[in-house]
Structure 1
């Protein structure tokens, strides 16, 4: 009788050990069962059910419109597709800012209804109370500093953040605060490489970069961007590993041609 080998789930403790060992952390977004299963089997350590689904799945201009119910639905689907990856879910805009009780309620709904392993929340000292309350319930929290897309109308642009000394100092203080509060890691988005390196050295929890250079503890990209499914988004930090937009487009055209020419289905593709 063969004994099946138990699959060991990545945990927040695993990520801390990876940082201590100097092993880089890989993180990608996932919004559905099929993609989550592929990424999980590929060995990606962290899957982020990102509010970027608002852009790449729903077609909105910003991340703001996506709702808590929609995030829970996506997270449920991702969880069903994973056996090993740590699944982190974004708390969407309006579910935690300025109301720590609402923040806790939102986080608990995500954890209970989706089965996810942690939540991600954007901001520093201004959301201190929300982070404390969520952590008090035993829910792991991943922080997010630098360019915070939910604040796009405040910034007015998606340009690099914290280039000026004042904002850089504030970001460094926020990073230390997030560690002190108990966050298990911090996403650093679109900030200068030197600043990201300084922050990474100053804290014991992992930093995950997106447009933050190579001195952080790990990297994250939006899977649709990395695979070339999206074609108009072309920031400097994005490396496209495939051009699936062209592959899917070509496949769809070939399928249409075969249908029009009575070539699909052929005799071997029919039942008798």
Structure 2
């Protein structure tokens, strides 16, 4: 396990931005994905709290880990105290910063307690009932609203913000004009980080992928092949059972003839 003292800190991540170096970031859900990201040299991971365990932290190695604190009716967090308790819990487990899309007062409460907070601007999935699933900031008024949101988050002390589906020119301007680290997802090359979901990078599904996703492998085809092989193996097993060809002698536990005869005598057979 990588000792905490050897892992990147908020200070280190800010230094990356100051150097003008781009940050690579992935959303992962399994220890295997986390370990692969670490081995590949990915800078930053996003892991929802429901997936974040000591095993995940160990698998993530030197990656800087953002733990997602659930927001909305499916989560367990409602008040600032709830969020603080969760943040301290996951800090002890090795979380490096915390995604929080709750209200400004809750985000500020986390910041006031020295928790590194990553907020969300642009297209915010938990708010889409107000915006719909679309790019945000294509008009001057919307771009100004996104800018004002960034500045409010900066003022309360947020460490960063996910910047989702905004025009590339706006993404570059915002990143250049805030002290926060802006984690771009469909926000153009000027964002401080480029953030994708591992399932899109790996091509895990045949379903809809967002415009900004880039697929580097076709795991869906491999999963389909493995499922076909799984079905075939199960079918062969069932056929062996029905035909009496399984189990074979090598699958059975042997018993000496004398011992079996003594047992039969003991039970009156």
TM-score computed with the length of structure 1 as normaliser: 0.78
Larger Rg: 2
Q: Which residue in the other structure is 2:83 paired with?
A: 103
* Cα 1:23/1:253, change in 2 over 3 Å: same
Equivalent residue runs for 1:81-230 within 5 Å: 81-94=59-72, 99-112=79-92, 114-122=93-101, 127-155=103-131, 157-230=132-205
Equivalent position SS for 2:227 = helix
Q: Which residue in the other structure is 1:57 paired with?
A: none
Q: Which residue in the other structure is 1:232 paired with?
A: 207
Question: How many corresponding residue pairs?
Answer: 238
Q: Which residue in the other structure is 2:52 paired with?
A: 75
Equivalent position SS for 1:84 = coil
* Cα 1:5/1:166, change in 2 over 3 Å: closer
Superimposed CA distance per residue, residues 44-95 of structure 1 (whole angstroms, 9 cap, x where no aligned partner): 1111014xxxxxxxxxxxxxxxxxxxx2x41114213122011111121136
Uncovered stretches (5+) of structure 1, i.e. residues with no partner: 51-70, 263-269
TM-score computed with the length of structure 2 as normaliser: 0.79
Give the C-alpha shift of residue 6 in structure 1. 9.8
> Separation in 2 of the partners of 1:5 and 1:117?
13
Contact 1:131 1:141 in 2 (8 A): yes
Superimposed CA distance per residue, residues 188-207 of structure 1 (whole angstroms, 9 cap, x where no aligned partner): 00011111111011112321
> Separation in 2 of the partners of 1:49 and 1:220?
12
